[in-house]
Chain A
C-alpha cells in the first residue's frame, strides 16, 4: 500500500516535459504567426505546396538528373508545367525556393486557368534561396516555369500562399527554448509554493480513489447483466465470444464496402460494435471475481485520453459517432470483465482464434477471387496494398502468439502446429507481394519480439520437440505456399474470370504507396520487388523517397496543429484529403495538440506492461506486447485509423494489461 501511494516521479516529469514541449510549440507558433488562434496555432493562411515528386518530371528541354538530383535546362525557353491541384485556387503569393543555381537569371512564369488558358504571366529575377512573387487575381490551375538560358538548379519548394510569411524559421528554435525555460521556471515556482503550503499539513493520499469508483461502477453494471449469462457453458461462451469478435473484426471491413461510410452508418456500426463488446464482457464476467486493480498509469492515461477525445468531439460537434463513447461505454467494461476472469487467457485465445479464422476465410477469398497480377503490388482483400499489408502484419501477431503458446505444450497436435506454421508462411508470402515497407518493418519486429520471448522456454524438452516439428512443417508449408499458393493466386481467379474493378487502386510493383505524384510525373520505378524497393529507399538519400511523400503530409499536419482538432483529414498531396500516415499526428489532428500527452504515456506503459507480461510469463503475454508493437510501428508511417485491424487488436489487447496489482500509482 505504501508503494501504491508513492508518486511516480519519472512519470510526473515525463508528463511535465511533454506538456512543456507542446506548450512551447504552441506559443512559438503563435508568436511566429503573430496571432492568437486556437484553431490553428501557426496561422499563416492557406498554403499549398506542389509536391516535390513533381519536381522530377521532365519538360521541354528540361531534364531532371536523377544522379545529381538537379534540373538541367538546355537551349532557350526551357519550360516545365506543374498542375495546381489544391481545392483553393485563388492565391496571393508564389514562393519559389531554389538551390544550386549557377547564376542569377530572369525567369518567366505563366499561370494557367481551368481550360488551359494563360491568365497572366510574370517575370522573376531568380537567385538561390527563396524567391517571392506577388500574384494577380484569378483562379490558378497550373503554372509553367520558363527558363531563358541553359542552367542547372534544384527546386527546393514551389508553394502558393494566401498570406506573406513575415517570419523566418531560424527564429523558432531560440523562441522555443526560451518558452520552455519559462515553462519549467513557472512549474518549479508552482511546485515550490505547493510544497510550502502543504508542508505543515498531514498529507492524506487520495490517489486512485476515482479509479476505484469507476471500477466499482463497471463492476456493478457487469454484475447486473453478467448474471444473465452465468448459466451458459464454457464452450458455448467461447463460441459466442468468437462469433462476437468476428463480427467486431468484420464490421469495419464490410461496412464501408457495403454502404458508404455516412454518419448514420458509422453510428450504427459503433452501436453494433458496442453491443458485441458488451456481450463479450457479460459472457466473460466471472462470478467468483478476481481482484482487479486499475490504479496504474496505463489506465489513467487511457481514461484521460478518451475523456479528452470526448471533449474534442463535443467541441467539434461529433455526436454519437464519437469513438470515446464506444470505448468508455463498452470497451472499458470488457477490460473490467476480462480482469475478473479466473482464466483470462480464454478470452485472449478466443480473440486470436477469431483473427485466425478470418484470415483463413480471407485467404480462401484471395485464392479464388483476387488474382495476383504480375507487375502490380498485391492488394488482397482490400483495394490498397498497404492496408492489406497492415492487416497481414496484425494477423501475424495472432499466429505468433498462438505458436508461442503452443510450442511449450506437452501434448501438441500436429494439426494445430500445421495451422500456425501455414498461417505464418502464407502471411509472409502475401506480405512479400504487397511490397509494403512499413508493414515489413512491423513484421520483422514482431518476429524479433517473438524470438526474444522464446528464450526462457528453449531448454524444455517438449519445446525442443515441438520446435523441430514446426521447422519440418514450415519447410513443407513454404513449398506448398510458394508453388501451389502462387499458382492458385495467378490462375484460379482467371478460371473464374474474376478481375479487379477499375476503381481499385493498384500500384505498380516497386512504386511508392503515395506515389501517385511520381506516377503522374512519369517517373518510372526502377526497382521491383520488396527488397529492391527497400534498398532504393535507404540508398536514395532523399526524405521524399525514404518516406514516399509522407514527409510532406506530416509537414502539413504539423503546421495545422490546434487546440481541439479538426473535423476531418487535411488536404494533402494532390489537393485531396489524406490521413496523416502517422498515428500521433492523426490523433493530434483529430483531437488537438494536447492529446499527445496521454497518448504517448499510454503507448509507453502499454509497451512496458507488455514486456512485463512476457517476462513474468503471463499466458498469452506475447500477444499483448506484439499487438502494441504492431500498432506503434505501423502507426509511425501508416494509417491506423479508428476501427482498423491494428487499432482494434491493440486496444482490445490493452485490456489484458489493464489490471496491474501493486503497480506504483501516479
Chain B
C-alpha cells in the first residue's frame, strides 16, 4: 500500500508535468490544438552538413566552424524540403560574424530554379528572423551577402517555417513553471475532493476490472493449459520453452531484417506469429490451476497502462502499424505474465529465456560468419539492420552471460553438473561474453559501448569475488574458467577473421533492404577514402551526433494528445527519433509517457530490490536489463516492437517481478 501511495504521488506529479508541458506548448503555439500542441505549421530545419557545404564564394573552414567569404557579393543556395511551397519565416542563427551587421538579399527560386524575387535582408549575431513573401511557392532560397570579401560568418542553425517561432528555452521554462504550479494546485484539489468523495473505497473499479480479466484468463488458461503444459514433465516443459523462445527470437530478428516491421501488410502476420508463440510458451508453462495474482501494484498498472494506452489511441488516430504491437502485447504479453506469475519457480522461465537467447546468439554468430561481411570503415550491423540494434543486442547478451555465470557461481539449482558439463558451460558463457564485447565494439555505437562497460564494471568484480570464493573450495573450477577464457579468446579471433573474409570468399555476403550503414569517417577523411575505394562508401551515411537535437526538436514540436501515424520527416527523409520517450509520445500521444516512465522506474526499483535485498537469491538480470533499456531510451531507437530481443526480454522479464510483488503482499 505504501508503495502504491508513492507510485500515485509520482504519477500525480508526472501527470502535472505533462499537462503543464501540453499547456505551455499550446501557449507557445498560440492556439488550443490537441492534434498538435505547438501548432507549428510546416517547418524545415536545414541539415547541419548543408550549413557546412562549400559554394563558389562561401568556403567552409572546419577549424573555425564557419564560412570565409571570398567575394564582394558572396552567394550560397539552399534547397528546401523538396517540394514547391510557400513559406513565411526564415530563421538564421549566426554564431560568429566578423562584421556586424551584414547586408544582403534573400533570393527566391521556383521548382525549375528560376529566380522569382530578391528581398533585402540584414544579418547580425544571434537569431535573425526574416519575414518572407508568403505568396510565392518556392523550392530553393539563396542568400547573397554584400561587401563581405574576406569576412567570416558562422551559421549554426537555419530553419524555414510557416508560423513564427516563439520557443526559447527560457521562455518555455518560465511558462512551464507557472503552468506547473497552477496544474499541481488543481490536481491536488481534485485529488483531495475525490478522496473525500470516495471515502474508504479505494480502487474498486480497477480491482473489478483486473479481477474479471484474471477470471477469464483462469478459465480459458486452465482449459488450454491443462491440455498442454499439464501433460508435460518439468524437463519437457523446460526444453520446449527454450526451443520456443529460440524460435521466437529468431523469428523476431528475421522479421526485423526482412523489413516486415515497416510493412503494413506483413507486420500484422509477423506480430501474430510472435504472439502465438508467446501464447504457446505460456500454455506450456501451465503447472497447476491458475490463481488470481496481485495486479494492483505499480508495475502491473504501468504495464496495462502502456498497452491499453497504445490500443486506445486507435479510437482517435488511424494508424497502420503502431497499434499492432499494443494489441499483441496486451493480449499475449498479459497472458504470459499471468502464467509466469502462477509458476512455482518463475526464474525457470527466465532461465529458459536466457537459454533461448544463447542458442540464438551462437546461431547468429555462425550466420554472420557466413553471410554478413564486415566492410572496411563501415560499422558492423551483424544480424540486424543498424549498428545501434547490434549494440543493444550485444548488451543484452552481456547481461545474459553474466547472469548465467553469476547463477553458476552462486551454486543455484538447474546449473550444469559434472566435470565436463561445467567446463563446457564455462566455455560457452565466457566465449559468449567475449563475443558480445567483440560485437559491441564492432558496432561502434558509443552509447552501447558505454553501457556495456558500465555493466561490466559493476558486475565483473562481483563475479570475480564469487569465483575466488568458490575456487577456494573447488580449484578445478578456477582452471576451467581460465581455460575457457583462453578458448574464448581463440574463438573471438576466429570470428574476427571470419566475418572479415569468409562471406567474401564464399561469395555469400548479404545486404538487407533499407539497411543503415554508418561510417565514422567524416569530411576529408571520407573524401580520401572514397577516392581510394570509390564503391565502398556507396549508400553509407556519416555518423553525426549534432543532428540529434534537431531531430528531437522536430519530434517534440509535433507532439499531440493521441499520437501520429508513421514517423517525422526531417532533412527531407523519414527519420527515426533516436529517443524512446519521444518515440512513444509521438506515436501514442504525450500521456503514454505516464505509464511508460513509471514502468521504467518501477523496473529499476524492483530490479534493485531483486538484486540487493534477496540474500542468496540475488538476481542482477532485471536491474541491468532495466538500466540498459533506460540508457538506450535516451538516445537510441529502442522501441522496436516485436523486432528486437532486448525489447521483448525487457517487457517480459517483469513476469518474475510480479511474482515477487504478489509474494510480498
A-to-B contact residues, CB < 8 Å: 209-210, 213-214, 216-218, 220-221, 223-225, 228, 262-264, 267-268, 271, 314, 317, 319-320
Picked from B212, B219, B315, the residue with its CB within 8 Å of the CB of A225 is B212
B315 engages A319 (CB within 8 Å) = no
The reply to whether the CB of B509 lies closer than 8 angstroms to some CB of chain A is: no
Q: Mark B228-265, 1 if CB is under 8 A from A, else 0.
A: 00000000000000000000000000000000000011
Picked from B215, B223, B268, the residue with its CB within 8 Å of the CB of A221 is B215
What are 21 A-B contacts defined by CB distance under 8 Å? Answer: A213-B220, A213-B223, A217-B215, A217-B219, A220-B212, A220-B215, A220-B216, A220-B218, A221-B215, A221-B216, A223-B215, A224-B211, A224-B215, A225-B212, A228-B208, A262-B318, A267-B314, A317-B268, A317-B320, A319-B323, A320-B311
**How many residues from B make CB contacts under 8 Å with A?**
23
Q: Mark B343-355, 1 if CB is under 8 A from A, else 0.
A: 0000000000000
Contacts of A209 in B (CB 8 A): 223
- Report if A220-B315 is in contact (Cβ < 8 Å); known contacts: A225-B212, A314-B272, A319-B323: no
A216 engages B208 (CB within 8 Å) = no
User: CA separation between A228 and B209, bound complex, in Å?
Assistant: 12
User: CA separation between A210 and B222, bound complex, in Å?
Assistant: 11
Closest 7 CB pairs of A and B: A220-B215, A224-B212, A213-B223, A217-B219, A221-B212, A217-B216, A216-B219
Contacts of B315 in A (CB 8 A): 264, 267-268, 271, 320
User: CA separation between A235 and B367, bound complex, in Å?
Assistant: 71
Most buried by A among B215, B317, B327: B215
Contacts of B272 in A (CB 8 A): 314
User: CA separation between A209 and B316, bound complex, in Å?
Assistant: 39
User: CA separation between A69 and B222, bound complex, in Å?
Assistant: 68
A264 engages B208 (CB within 8 Å) = no
A319 engages B314 (CB within 8 Å) = yes
B208 engages A224 (CB within 8 Å) = yes
User: CA separation between A213 and B221, bound complex, in Å?
Assistant: 10
Closest to A224 in B: B212
Q: Mark B552-592, 1 if CB is under 8 A from A, else 0.
A: 00000000000000000000000000000000000000000
- Report if A314-B268 is in contact (Cβ < 8 Å); known contacts: A263-B318, A271-B315: yes
User: CA separation between A213 and B222, bound complex, in Å?
Assistant: 9
Give the distance to chain B from A615, nearest Cβ to Cβ, in Å: 34
Give the distance to chain A from B155, nearest Cβ to Cβ, in Å: 43
Most buried by A among B211, B212, B218, B222: B212
User: CA separation between A228 and B212, bound complex, in Å?
Assistant: 13
Picked from A216, A223, A264, A314, the residue with its CB within 8 Å of the CB of B317 is A264
User: CA separation between A214 and B212, bound complex, in Å?
Assistant: 13
Q: Mark B74-111, 1 if CB is under 8 A from A, else 0.
A: 00000000000000000000000000000000000000
User: CA separation between A181 and B314, bound complex, in Å?
Assistant: 48
User: CA separation between A268 and B318, bound complex, in Å?
Assistant: 12
User: CA separation between A228 and B211, bound complex, in Å?
Assistant: 14
Give the distance to chain B from A566, nearest Cβ to Cβ, in Å: 15
B264 engages A317 (CB within 8 Å) = yes
A220 engages B219 (CB within 8 Å) = yes
User: CA separation between A262 and B215, bound complex, in Å?
Assistant: 35
Contacts of B317 in A (CB 8 A): 264
Give the distance to chain B from A450, nearest Cβ to Cβ, in Å: 41
Contacts of A210 in B (CB 8 A): 223
User: CA separation between A262 and B223, bound complex, in Å?
Assistant: 39
User: CA separation between A319 and B272, bound complex, in Å?
Assistant: 13
Give the distance to chain A from B648, nearest Cβ to Cβ, in Å: 21
Closest to B216 in A: A217
User: CA separation between A209 and B220, bound complex, in Å?
Assistant: 11
User: CA separation between A210 and B316, bound complex, in Å?
Assistant: 36
Contacts of A314 in B (CB 8 A): 268, 272
User: CA separation between A216 and B216, bound complex, in Å?
Assistant: 8
Give the distance to chain A from B202, nearest Cβ to Cβ, in Å: 15
Interface residues in B187-218 (C-beta closer than 8 Å to A): 208, 211-212, 215-216, 218
User: CA separation between A221 and B272, bound complex, in Å?
Assistant: 26
User: CA separation between A317 and B218, bound complex, in Å?
Assistant: 30
Contacts of B220 in A (CB 8 A): 213-214, 217
Contacts of B208 in A (CB 8 A): 224-225, 228
User: CA separation between A392 and B155, bound complex, in Å?
Assistant: 73
A264 engages B316 (CB within 8 Å) = yes
